[in-house]
Structure formats: C-alpha cells, structure tokens
Structure 1
Amino acid sequence: MKRIFVAMAALLASLSMSAQQNISFREGKLVSPQVNSDRTVTFRVKAPKAKSVKVLADWEQNDGQGTMKKGKDGVWEYTTPQLTSEMFTYRFDVDGVVSVDPVNPFTRRDVGNVFSIFYVGGGAADEYQVKNVAHGQVRTVWYHSNAGNADRRMNVYLPAGYGKTDKKYPVFYLLHGSGGDENAWLELGNISRIMDNLIAEGKCEPMIVVMPNGNFGKQAAAGETAENLNYKPMMTKFLPHYKDGLYEMAFPEIVNYVDATFNTIADKQHRAIAGLSMGGMHTLMIAVNYPDMFNYVGLYSAGVDFTQINMEAIPAYANLDGKLSKLAQSNPKLFWIACGNADRLMPFNKQLMERMNKDGLKYTFHESSRGHLWCNWRQYSLLFIPQLFK
C-alpha cells in the first residue's frame, strides 16, 4: 500500500508540474495596456529581436494604428492620443505576425479572430462595467425549429428579480450580424451589463432580452454544435440559408417558445426587435412579414443592400413596398434607424428610408460618426433601449 501511495503521489506531483507549465503564468513588471488618467493608453510588448512592432486597434485616431518604439530593454512602447470612452479591441503586429497582447488576459472573439480588449471610462463604457447593482441572469436554452428540422440555441437575459413573483415582462429580441452568433451581444455587446445598469439607474423598463442564433444553417455558435470544433467561425454568407428568408419566416417559432417558457407579456405592445448589420436586415424582414408582432423596431447599420439578391424570387423579401405599407397601417410605436456617416451601408439605409417615406411608414433616424463598428452598436443600444415599452 505504501508503494502504491508513493507512486500515486509522484504521479500527481508530475501532473501538477505539467499543468503549471501548460498554464504558463505571465507574471512580471510589464504593464499593457495602461489606461492613463488623461484617457491616453500605453501599450508595451517585449520583443528584443523584432524589427518592427505596431498596435492595430479600433479607435478612430490614426485609423486605429500606432507604431511602437523600441527601448533599450527590448520593450516596445506606444501611447495613443486621447480616446473616447468605449471598449476597444486591439492586437500587436510583430514583424508581420499578428497576435493578442501576451500580458493582457482579457480577450474577445469576433467571427474567427481573437482580440485583446480594454476600457476607457468616463462615458459610454461606464455602462459596460459590472457595478454594485442588482444583477440579472443569462440562460442558454435550446428550442426546436420545425422549419430548420433541428434544435437551435439562444441566450436569454432575465432581469434581476425574475421568477421571485408571478410578474410578467416585455421582451426585446436582439439579433447579431454576419459572422456573429447567439453569444455576440453578450461578449462583444456587453448587453447583460448594459441591461443591469440601465434598469438599476431607472433608464429603462425591466425586460427580457432574447438573443437567437441567426445562422439558420447552424444550430449554435461554433464549438457548441454536434460538429464540435470542426465548425470554425465564419461569415454567414458562406453558410446555408444566407438571405433566403427562411430564418425570418420561421421567427415565430422563437417567439412562441419564449412566450411558452418565460413570464412574458405576450402581445405586440410588449415586444421589441432590433439587429445590427445582417441582423438589421433580419429585423426589417421579420417586422414587415409579421406586422402585428412587434411595436418597437430598431435597425443598427442594417444590411439592407438589396442589389445582390432577386428580392421578388424570395417570398420573405418579395413585395417589400406593399409590406412596408401594411406595417405602416399597423402603426408601430417606434421604428428607429441608426447608421454611421462613414458606414458603407449608409447609402442603402437612406434608400430604405426613401421607400419608407413613399410607403407612409414613420421612423426616427440617428446618424452617428464612424463606420461599421461594435462601438456604434453598443452605443445605439444605450439610445434605443430606454425608449422601449414606455
């Protein structure tokens, strides 16, 4: 017995050492990123043999790029101009090899790329933080889609206090863009934190937020399907059922599941829907095909470029002007459109608004700066959500 015990102890010690080596702790004095009091940010990376190092990011100044300078200790450094309050993503380019910041453990995946992140406070990003407020919960659920002949995954945010009484809540359906999935609004949009904070601050009504997977040819996010790690994240245009209208026409399956599963107020007056980019296209087509389902509609940088498809050949997209007129007759309380002035989709959003003018559908338009970026979509949510269910 003693020999067995000693052998097992040696094996466990070996596994422990192996695990520690695999973890590769990155302790040291190097700090990156360093968010300074003046809203500038300093980046550092140790690469003594490198010849050129850049930081590639999504802030506005200098197109989000910064050339780093090498110090005597082999540490490259760069300090940004003063930045606005936001969550930013970035990576390092070391002699043409692009990677995350090796001393920053906080990352986000966007489509198939992984980025390091940081926050600059004093504005919008304050709503993306975990604060000392009552917190809601996020449930990951599966519903069966008869149209898709599969079980499909979605995330549902439930506000603080949900389930403690028989109280029923309005529902906000929030859709992702091409390359996204049911996790996108949680991970890149910080939506659960935004909801916790807006509700606690009295800026919006307590509500349920439903985040489905809009890639109708897939059951769930990459790594969460029966294909496991064989399904790599990719833009939706490379997947089955892209812009064929099947997802939009099958959307009542999601609404019916939510109403049957959660404490909802199951009527038009207490339902809202919004989406970014491809999700904006989905939102538009769901709203016009089901004009009595949603009282609040939001398009964030909507992917309403109709030049690449034969609209009349697809039932969900056919007779758009007639459907817009019918939606106008149903008189939604709010139809809200937002787009950046540098977004390539701005001309198509303007064309859509011209059609809406002719078809009598009233809307509110918000023009922001910049282009097709998560910073805009997060900030659009800060503007749109407080207008719901008033």
Structure 2
Amino acid sequence: MNRLSVLTATMLMCATSWAQQALWGGASIISPEIHDNNTVTFRLKAPKAVRVQVTGDFLPSTPIETPRGIWEGPGIADLKENKDGIWEFTTTAPLAPELYGYSFIVDGLKIMDPSNVYMIRDVATVTNVFIIGGERADLYRVNDVPHGTVRRMWYNSPTLNMERRITVYTPAGYETSGKSYPVFYLLHGAGGDEEAWINLGRTSQILDNLIAQGKAEPMIVVMTNGNAWQEAAPGESSNGFTAPSMRPTDAKNAIEGGFELAFPDVVKFIEKNFRTKKGRANRAIAGLSMGSFHSANISRYYPDMFGYVGLFSGAASKNEKSNCPVYTDFEGKLKVQFDKKPLLYYIACGKTDFVYQGVSDYRKLLDDNGYKYEYFESEGGHIWRNWRIYLTEFAPKLFK
C-alpha cells in the first residue's frame, strides 16, 4: 500500500471514529413511548434520585399568577422507580392529537429527557417535544407532500439603522415555477423572535400540508423579529450568546413604535428579493399576543398595505399618553382602515386567556362602529397549542 493510500485509510478511520463518538453513551431507554392507544410512557434512569417528576402541557394545567394575569402553567406528575433505577410514568388516559412539550424534574432540578433528542426553545425555556398524530395534529407533522423552503436571511433596516434577520418560507415549487406569490407576514409574541413561529408554530409543516391538500393558496410567509432593539434571535447576532429576554437588553435601541414604523423596510426587502404579487389584496399580516398588537397597529397605520389582518390572543388598545404617530388618533386611524374595507379582519382568542376581556372590549368597539370582522374562540388560554390552531384556521382564508 502506497503512502497516499495509507493516509487516506487513516483519515477515513479517524472520521469514522469521530462519527461514532456521538453515539457513545446513547440512550437505550425508550422515552417517550407512544402506545397504540395514545397513552404515553416517560422513563428516566436515575438510581440515586429521591424524587422524579415530569412536567408538561399534556397534564392538567396549573394556574400561575403573574403581573399580566393568570397563566396556564404545565402540570406535574410523579414517576415511580423500579428495581433497575428506572423511573416511569404512564398517562392514565390517551392523549389527544397534538404537539406536546415536557421535561423532567429530578430532586428539584429541571432537566431534559436524555432519551429524546427533540427539543424546542421558547424564550429562555427549553422543552422536549413529541407529537400524537391524527386530526389537526397531522398538519404539524412532516408528511409525504411537496415541501417548501425555509431561509434565514438578513436585510437592512434604514429606519432602525441596523442589519436584521428574518425567516422566510417559500412554497414548494417556488424556485422553478417562475410565478409570483402573495405574502403573509407572521409575527411572534413577547420574548419570541424570528425563530418562534417556524419552530414552535410549525409554520412550514402547516403550510406544506395545507397547500398540498388544496386548502390554502401557495404563499410566501415572512416571520420577522418584532423586537426592534434586536438584530436577531439570541445567539444569532453580533451580540453572541446572550441570554434570551422578554425586555430590551439595550435601552438606547428601544424606540417607541420602532417595529411598526420600520415595517415597510421588511416589505420593501421581500418585494425586491422575491417574486411577489403586489397590492393589499396580496398581503396579509397576523401575529400572536404582542404580535397581535403589532399587526393591529401596522395594519391601522398603513391602511393600504394589508388586505388581510389576523389578531391571535391580543387586540389593539389606545395609548393616550404616547406621542408616537403609530398610536395617536387611534379611532380616527381605525375608521380609515375600515372605510377601506379589509378583505378579512380576523380575531381569535382562548376562553381562559388572560387577554380575553381586552379582546372582548376591542370587539365591542368594532361592533359599536359597525366594523366587520370574523371571530374564532377556542378552549384554553395563552398557549402555543391555540396559536397553531389559529394559523391552521387563518391561512386557508387568505388570498381567495
């Protein structure tokens, strides 16, 4: 064997060694195990633990009092230890189809399930996830259908004087069709970023499946970063691995109404760099919680920009103390918007959401003025389970 062959063989052996290293210590425990009847068993090997619990949104919720009201916190259940030091918990009833999140608590310390590599970050919290298939939850899965493309891109915002990051979904066939497409701008809530809807909201899976089923028009979906002081999601900007936060980390960049005022920068970038259909009939905007507030403000401040508006778990509200042009003359701007007759003004909220009363008050304002809108009410509160539902309900109504 010549020296080149020996070198090549050595490199291949090293590469194989490093590839196998990631498998060393791999878990042999199955967790979570989804049974045929949709009950689920969770397992954790912790022979020295005194108490092991599982917490997740598949359990009955626990009310949590916060400055913003009562939130629905994940429930908690105890695991039982068997003779091998493996702790187990099996749900007593089958779980309904849904995407669920969970984690373990070992002697008071919250940890991830080492047997489940699938995890999602929500603000500063990381949880393991699993899906119970069937019904609406099948829209959250990767199915054997044509798939769109997801891009993380940077654009320049002259208004905010910074480069900013967005996530863009283009439907299957975009690259080769030569066609132009309508655009749906989808906004996250407080503490979220341009990663929230694509990960927690399952946007690409939902759009792939709805489009393949003929229930939604092929469309471009733009997921922005609604924190005007940020370049991008934590860990994805020039600030490095900063801790996720729901509040501005740099007060000098926290411009009142900055995100709303700068939104045309996003639209101009998208329409310059993608094949898009122009005009309000081909643009939609929607968001959850804070993103709902942003969507209401943006669509009211720029009444000719969006024909379709979606407010998920949130509503517009007057800010009489503000001098920011986005917030002044609230009812005057609202009248102008509805005089132009939005093609769809959609509001959705959970029955136990802490913003329910605020949404009801806003609906009354619309009703008193004869402004037409569509309302969808679900069970539950201020949770991603609802926001995924609202996306599956709203997207098929667009661009018809």
Q: Same fold (TM over 0.5)?
A: yes
Q: Does structure 1 residue 127 correspond to structure 2 residue 117?
A: no
Match of 2:272 in 1: 260
Q: Distance in 2 between matches of 1:36 and 1:244?
A: 51
Q: Does structure 1 residue 372 correspond to structure 2 residue 382?
A: yes
Q: Distance in 2 between matches of 1:12 and 1:204?
A: 48
- Matched residue SS, 1:163: helix
RMSD value over aligned CA atoms?
Answer: 2.5
Following superposition, the deviation at residue 203 of structure 1 comes to: 0.5
* CA distance 1:62–1:227, change in 2 (3 Å): closer
Query: TM-score, normalization: structure 1?
Result: 0.92
- Matched residue SS, 1:222: coil
Q: Distance in 2 between matches of 1:185 and 1:179?
A: 12
Following superposition, the deviation at residue 346 of structure 1 comes to: 0.9
Following superposition, the deviation at residue 24 of structure 1 comes to: 4.4
Match of 1:344 in 2: 354
* CA distance 1:6–1:131, change in 2 (3 Å): closer
Q: Distance in 1 between matches of 2:259 and 2:360?
A: 25
* CA distance 1:170–1:11, change in 2 (3 Å): closer
Match of 2:328 in 1: 318
Task: Please tell me whether the aligned partners of residues 248 and 286 of structure 1 are also in contact (alpha carbons under 8 angstroms).
Answer: yes
Q: Equivalent of 2:370, from 351, 360, 365?
A: 360
Match of 2:302 in 1: 290
Match of 1:41 in 2: 40
* CA distance 1:312–1:78, change in 2 (3 Å): same
Q: Does structure 1 residue 154 correspond to structure 2 residue 166?
A: yes
Match of 2:26 in 1: 26
Equivalent residues in 2 for 1:9-24, closer than 5 Å? 24=24
Following superposition, the deviation at residue 61 of structure 1 comes to: 2.5
Q: Does structure 1 residue 247 correspond to structure 2 residue 259?
A: yes
Point out where structure 1 has 5 or more consecutive residues left out of the alignment.
none
Match of 1:55 in 2: 54
Report how many aligned residue pairs link the two structures. Answer: 385
1:3-23 C-alpha deviation (Å, 9 max, x unpaired) = 9x9999999988986886576
Q: Distance in 2 between matches of 1:183 and 1:97?
A: 27
Q: Distance in 2 between matches of 1:87 and 1:111?
A: 18
- Matched residue SS, 1:61: coil
Q: Distance in 1 between matches of 2:233 and 2:264?
A: 21
- Matched residue SS, 1:332: coil
Q: Does structure 1 residue 71 correspond to structure 2 residue 82?
A: yes
- Which shows bigger deviation, 65-74 or 238-247? 238-247
* CA distance 1:216–1:374, change in 2 (3 Å): same
* CA distance 1:386–1:243, change in 2 (3 Å): farther
- Matched residue SS, 2:266: helix
Task: Please tell me whether the aligned partners of residues 295 and 334 of structure 1 are also in contact (alpha carbons under 8 angstroms).
Answer: yes
* CA distance 1:23–1:109, change in 2 (3 Å): farther
Q: Does structure 1 residue 112 correspond to structure 2 residue 124?
A: yes
* CA distance 1:242–1:276, change in 2 (3 Å): farther
Equivalent residues in 2 for 1:327-338, closer than 5 Å? 327-338=337-348
- Matched residue SS, 1:115: strand
Following superposition, the deviation at residue 65 of structure 1 comes to: 2.1
- Matched residue SS, 1:164: helix
1:18-57 C-alpha deviation (Å, 9 max, x unpaired) = 88657643132x1100112222211011111111111110
1:143-174 C-alpha deviation (Å, 9 max, x unpaired) = 11011111111011111111323311111000
Following superposition, the deviation at residue 313 of structure 1 comes to: 2.9
Following superposition, the deviation at residue 359 of structure 1 comes to: 3.6
Percent sequence identity is 44
Which residue identity is paired with 2:167?
Answer: N
Which residue identity is paired with 1:165?
Answer: S
Match of 1:171 in 2: 183
Equivalent residues in 2 for 1:138-153, closer than 5 Å? 138-153=150-165
Q: Distance in 2 between matches of 1:97 and 1:16?
A: 36
Point out where structure 2 has 5 or more consecutive residues left out of the alignment.
63-74
Which residue identity is paired with 2:340?
Answer: S
- Which shows bigger deviation, 350-359 or 279-288? 350-359
* CA distance 1:119–1:26, change in 2 (3 Å): same
Q: Distance in 1 between matches of 2:328 and 2:246?
A: 25
